[in-house]
């Protein structure tokens, strides 16, 4: 690595395990930082080492609570005020990404607001993985490195050597991703069509495509309450699927998600480590397999720091 601007990697609280894996892969130690918390809950991050003139990478997934996003914003602000040369937000999971448009009157566009806040804090670049909608990249007026988890998932699925494989999209919005997976794995596509009663509540699901006798893998960008996923898996099984698995980048797993997965027809749920699984020992995680994205992120961080092209690193 060149000496012009030294590289420093820091983390916020929510992504410490992930950041440690990235730093180890880069052959670096995580930078020293702390968070001072006041008795009313207000907090103030600070760097315990100089970042003057450094290219600073701050790793944090912005899943709820909102403190995770705000801690990242304060860390960016602190780095900028401490004369960092460049500040790059590494956001394995970009929260608020589902608010990417006005889909009904009088609602916020949260993803655009988050982009504005990152810019206002002094961010120079964002690295993220499997955005809920690709067009969110257009909300930023600086570079966005959009990493695809398919670079980890596809080789894993190929190595599993599943016979009579079919890739399924859990809804019409996931058809493009499912098609890309199916093209790489040279297998047919099944599209599930769902009607929503309201947010996080699925009405009915129907599947379009040949399901009978297939070993189906449902692919998605995130699993939140697992309502859609569990329902789709059960419908596919009822339609004669030999087995149903799922593959999703972001394990949000809120509310009854763990129970729904455990009780559903799903054999296995493959997720990445962009969001850590719950540490609650009561949660049933037997069906869940976690693949790490840390090597991919470390590789892209290294290439961005050294001004190397990164497009060859992506399987879209």
pLDDT in tens, 30-58: 999 999 999 999 999 999 999 999 999 99
pLDDT in tens, 150-161: 999 999 999 999
pTM: 0.93
Strands 268-272 and 201-208, how do they pair?
unpaired
Q: Strands, DSSP E only, in 176-237?
A: 189-198, 201-208, 215-223
CA dihedral angle for residue 167, residue 99, residue 111, residue 251, rounded to 10 degrees: -40
Residue 251 near residue 129, CB atoms below 8 Å: no
Token duo for residue 276: 């850590």
Please, what's the largest Cα pairwise distance for the chain?
Answer: 61
- Among candidate residues 194, 214, 231, 237, the one labeled active-site is 194
pLDDT in tens, 229-255: 999 999 999 999 999 999 999 999 999
3-class DSSP state of 148: coil
Is 194 part of the annotated catalytic residue set? yes
Q: d(Cα 108, Cα 276) in Å, to the nearest integer?
A: 28
Q: Residue 33 contacts by C-beta under 8 Å, 6 or more apart in sequence? A: 10, 11, 45, 46, 47, 48, 75
| pLDDT value at 194 more than 80 | no
Sign of CA dihedral 12, 18, 19, 20: positive
């Amino acid at each position: 690595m060149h000496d012009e601007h030294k590289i420093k990697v820091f983390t916020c609280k929510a992504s410490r395990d992930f950041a440690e894996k990235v730093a180890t892969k880069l052959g670096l130690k995580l930078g020293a930082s702390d968070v001072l918390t006041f008795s009313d809950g207000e907090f103030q991050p600070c760097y315990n080492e100089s970042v003057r003139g450094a290219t600073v990478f701050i790793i944090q997934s912005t899943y709820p609570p909102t403190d995770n996003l705000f801690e990242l914003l304060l860390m960016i602000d602190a780095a900028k005020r401490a004369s960092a040369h460049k500040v790059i937000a590494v956001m394995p999971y970009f929260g608020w990404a589902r608010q990417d448009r006005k889909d009904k009157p009088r609602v916020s566009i949260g993803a655009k607001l988050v982009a504005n806040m990152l810019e206002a804090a002094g961010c120079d670049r964002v690295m993220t993985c499997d955005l809920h909608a690709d067009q969110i990249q257009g909300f930023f007026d600086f570079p966005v490195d959009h990493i695809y988890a398919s670079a980890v998932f596809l080789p894993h699925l190929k190595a599993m050597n599943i016979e009579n494989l079919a890739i399924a999209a859990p809804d019409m919005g996931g058809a493009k991703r499912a098609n890309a997976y199916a093209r790489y794995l040279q297998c047919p596509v099944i599209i599930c069509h769902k009607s929503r009663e309201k947010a996080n509540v699925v009405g009915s699901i129907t599947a379009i495509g040949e399901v009978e006798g297939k070993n189906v893998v449902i692919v998605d960008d995130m699993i939140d309450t697992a309502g859609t996923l569990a329902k789709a898996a059960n419908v596919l099984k009822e339609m004669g699927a030999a087995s149903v698995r799922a593959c999703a980048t972001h394990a949000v797993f809120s509310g009854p998600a763990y129970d729904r997965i455990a009780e559903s027809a799903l054999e296995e749920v493959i997720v990445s480590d962009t969001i850590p699984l719950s540490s609650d020992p009561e949660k049933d995680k037997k069906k869940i397999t976690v693949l790490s994205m840390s090597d991919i992120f470390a590789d892209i961080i290294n290439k961005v720091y050294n001004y190397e092209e990164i497009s060859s690193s992506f399987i879209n």
